[in-house]
């Protein structure tokens, strides 16, 4: 059985979802979570700022947030929220298509749902390595130097 990935875009920007969905399916296959159920919200910086403040106490927009579900049989793995604004800026900075940057952010969020973190430099390097393995297997260009774009409050309407 394959993962069940639902993607909802609440922005006015249209974008291709298939690369993101495929990357998450590959991630869950690699990490042996074939029946994962994940909802992904593509939203804007304003909504991400609100969610980040409400759930993490940080009053700024961010690229990706994850919301793990309770750990019981049949429970979904959790939810991922991705800022399409961050993805657009990241894609421009890395000179890749937006759908590819969305996939990287999705993989990043998926790894968080699986329990991986990136609080220290070593954890960040490990996560980027894991992201690149998934990206390569999903047919996405790898990037050993991938990082979230710097948070720029001036770009966020509060």
Q: How much is the pLDDT for 3? A: 85
Q: How far apart are CA 127 and CA 118, in angstroms?
A: 7
Q: Where are the strands (E) in the chain, listed by range?
A: 4-9, 37-43, 64-68, 78-83
Higher-pLDDT residue of 152 and 95 is 95
Give pLDDT tens digits for 92-103: 988 999 999 999
Q: How much is the pLDDT for 132? A: 95
Domains in the chain: ranges and CATH: 4-144 (3.40.390.30)
Mean pLDDT of 75-85: 93
Q: Which pLDDT band holds residue 149 (cuts at 50, 70, 90)?
A: low
Give pLDDT tens digits for 21-66: 999 999 999 999 878 899 999 999 999 999 999 999 999 999 999 9
- What's the Cα-to-Cα distance from 89 to each of 55, 60, 104, 120, 148, rounded to whole Å? 24, 16, 13, 24, 10
Its pTM surpasses 0.85:
yes
């Amino acid at each position: 059985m394959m993962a069940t990935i639902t993607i909802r875009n609440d922005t006015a920007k249209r974008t291709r979802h298939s690369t993101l969905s495929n990357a998450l399916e590959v991630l869950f296959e690699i990490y042996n979570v074939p029946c994962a159920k994940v909802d992904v919200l593509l939203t804007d910086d304003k909504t991400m700022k609100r969610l980040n403040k409400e759930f993490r106490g940080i009053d700024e927009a961010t690229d990706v947030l994850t919301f793990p579900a309770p750990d019981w049989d049949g429970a979904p793995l959790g939810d991922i929220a991705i800022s399409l604004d961050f993805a657009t800026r990241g894609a421009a900075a890395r000179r890749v298509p937006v759908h590819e940057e969305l996939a990287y952010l999705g993989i990043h969020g998926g790894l968080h749902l699986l329990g991986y973190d990136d609080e220290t430099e070593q954890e960040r390097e490990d996560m980027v390595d894991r992201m690149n393995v998934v990206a390569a297997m999903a047919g996405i260009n790898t990037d050993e130097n991938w990082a979230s774009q710097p948070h720029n409050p001036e770009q966020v309407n509060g």
